[in-house]
A and B are shown apart, each in its own frame.
Chain A
Amino acid sequence: MKQFLVNRDGQVSLAATIVSWGLVALLVCAVFSFAFSELRYGWNWNAIWQYRQKFVQGWLMTVAISAAALLVSLLLGLLTALARRSALLPLRYLSMLYVESVRGTPLLVQILILFYVVANAFGVDNRYLVGVLTLSLFAGAYLSEMIRSGIESIRDSQLESARAIGLTRAQTYRYVIFPQVVRQLVPPLTGQFASIIKDSSLLSIIAVSEFTLNAQEVNAFTYSTLESYLPLAAGYLLLTLPISLASRALERRFHYAT
C-alpha cells in the first residue's frame, strides 16, 4: 500500500505508476461503459465514416485558425502590455479597458458583436478573418496580463544595472527584460494555445467551417449525434493533450534553469 503514496521527495516507482494509471483507466471505463450500455443506443459508425473527409478538413481548419490566432494574440498581448506601461495615460487606459472588458465578458458575445455589428459596419464580410481576429483579441487580453506580470517580475536592481552599463531603454527591453519574460512565458503560452484551440469551437456560430461546425453538420446529415461528437472530443484531445504535456515538460526545464 505504501508504494501508492507519494513520498516527500515526490518520487514514485514505475510499477506503482503503471498500476495506478491502470486503476484510474478501469474506473473511468467502468463508469462510461455502464452509462453507454444503459443508453441502448443504436450505433451507426458507417454513416459517419463516409464523412471522414469533413472531420479531417474541419480539424485542419481548427489547427490553422488557432495557430494564426496564437501569433496575432501574442503580438496584441505584447503591444497592450507595453501600452499598459506607457507614460501616455490614454494609451494606458485603453489597454486597461481592453483587458478588463475582454476578460470580463463571454467569448460568445464578443464573437456575435464583432461579427454582426463591428465587422458588418466596416464592411468586412470574411468570417475567417473576423474569426481569427476575435479569437486573437480574446486570447490577447490574457496574454497581455501574463506579459505584463512577466515584465514586472524583473527586479528593479536589474533595470538599475542596465542603466549603469549604459543600455538605452530599448536595449534594456531587448537584452534584459524580454529574454527573461519569454522564458517565463513559454509554459503559460502553451496552455493558452490549448485554450485557443478549444475556444475556436465557438466560431461555429458564425459559420466558420472549423472542426465543431463540421461535426454539427455531419450530425445533421446522419442523425448520428454521439458518432459525430465523440470523434470531435477525440480530435481536440489529440491537439490539447500533447500541448499540455509539452507545457509541463517546459515548465520543469525552465524551473531547473533558474
Chain B
Amino acid sequence: MRLEFRAIGKAFGELQALRDVTLNVAEFQSLAIIGPSGGGKTTLLRIIAGLETPETGQLSIDGQRLDFSEASLLLHRRSIGTVFQAYNLFPHLTARQNVMLPLVKVHDVAVGEARAIVDSLFERFQLSAHADRHPAELSGGQQQRVAIVRAIAIKPRFLIFDEPTSALDPEMTAEVLDFIAELRADGRNLIIVTHNMGFAREVSDHCLFIADGRVLEEGRSSELFSRPQNPLLVNFLAKVLRY
C-alpha cells in the first residue's frame, strides 16, 4: 500500500504533536513507525486510523484522499482494523461476542454467518477454548489476540497496531508478536507503532522514524536499521538497543 502526507499538522493545546509532515511513503506491505515517546508517532497513526483529525494538511491512502468529515471518517474506520495497547475488548461480552459485534452491527453480516466466521478464525488462531470467556478471564496476551481477530474478521483494507504489546509481559509479548508476524506472512498490509525494535525490524519492510513532530528519516527497514543517517535516529537506536 501507499501513503502520502501533505503538510499535516496537529496540536493538542500548547503541544505541537505533528509539524508540517510532508512525505510520500513508497509502496510497502508492512510499515513500522518508531521514535521516542511523545514524538508524534501515535498521533500520526491515529490520523491514519481516522481517530484524529489534523488541523492542517491532507492524507492519501493508496492514492485516495481521505476526507476528514465525521461521516467519511466513520466509513474509513469501518474499513480498517485497529488494535490498541490494551483494553480493546468490551468487558461485558465474551470473546466470541466481542468479535461478532462489529460483524453483525456494523457490517450487517447475518448472526449465523458471523458466528461461523468467528469460530473458524478462533480455530485457526488457537482461541477456540476461550470463545465463551469474558475478557477478565483471559490473559493479557489472549485478550490482544482476540482483539486482533476482531480487527481481521471484518476483512479490513489494512491493520493498524498502536503499541500492541506495551502492556504485556515478555512471554505474552512473544505470543502477540508471533501472531502479527503470521498476519504479515499471510500478505496483510500492516502499520505498526512499536517500541520493540527487534520486532519492528523483522516484521516491517518500510520504516518511519518520528521525533519532535517530524518524520526525520524513512526508508526500507533493512537500510534504516543497519545504516541510520539522521544523528537523532543513530542516537535513538543506540539507546534502545543497548539492553
Interface residues of A (CB under 8 A from B): 155, 157-158, 160-168, 171, 175-176, 179-180, 183, 257-258
Q: What 12 additional pairs, Cβ within 8 angstroms, besides A157-B87, A165-B78, A166-B78? A: A157-B88, A160-B51, A161-B84, A161-B89, A162-B90, A164-B84, A165-B77, A166-B102, A171-B105, A175-B101, A180-B91, A183-B92
Once the chains bind, are B150 and A165 in contact (CB under 8 Å)? yes
From A155, A157, A175, A258, B105 is in contact (CB under 8 Å) with A175
In contact, B150 and A258 (Cβ under 8 angstroms) = no
Q: Is B74 an interface residue (CB 8 A)?
A: yes
Residue of B nearest to A165 (CB): B102
Q: B90 contacts A166, CB within 8 Å?
A: no
B82: A residues at CB distance < 8 A: 164-165
Q: Which of A166, A176, A257 contacts B74 (CB 8 A)?
A: A166
Contact B90 A164 (CB under 8 A): no
Q: How distant is the Cα of A157 from the Cα of B88 in the complex, in angstroms?
A: 7
A–B complex contacts, Cβ < 8 Å, 21 sampled = A158-B90, A160-B51, A160-B84, A161-B88, A161-B89, A161-B90, A162-B90, A163-B77, A164-B82, A164-B84, A165-B82, A165-B102, A166-B75, A166-B78, A167-B102, A167-B106, A168-B74, A171-B105, A175-B101, A180-B91, A180-B92
Name the CB-closest residue of A to B153: A165
Which secondary structure dominates chain A's binding surface? Answer: helix
Question: Which residues of B, 82-141, contact A by the 8 Å Cβ criterion?
Answer: 82, 84, 86-92, 101-102, 105-106, 134, 136
Q: How far is the CA of A166 from the CA of B79 in the complex (A)?
A: 8
Q: Which residues from A are CB-within-8-Å of B88?
A: 157, 161
Q: Which residues of B contact A158 (CB under 8 A)?
A: 87, 90-91
Given the complex of chains A and B, what is the CA–CA distance between A161 and B51 in angstroms? 10
Within 8 Å CB of A162, what residues of B? 90
Shortest Cβ gap from A105 to chain B (Å): 37
List the A side residues contacting B51 at CB < 8 Å: 160, 163-164
Tell me if B59 is interfacial: C-beta within 8 Å of chain A: no
**Please, how many angstroms separate the alpha-carbon atoms of A151 and B106 in the complex?**
22
**Which residues of chain B from 199 to 237 have a CB within 8 Å of any chain A CB?**
none
Contacting pair B49 A164 (CB below 8 A): yes
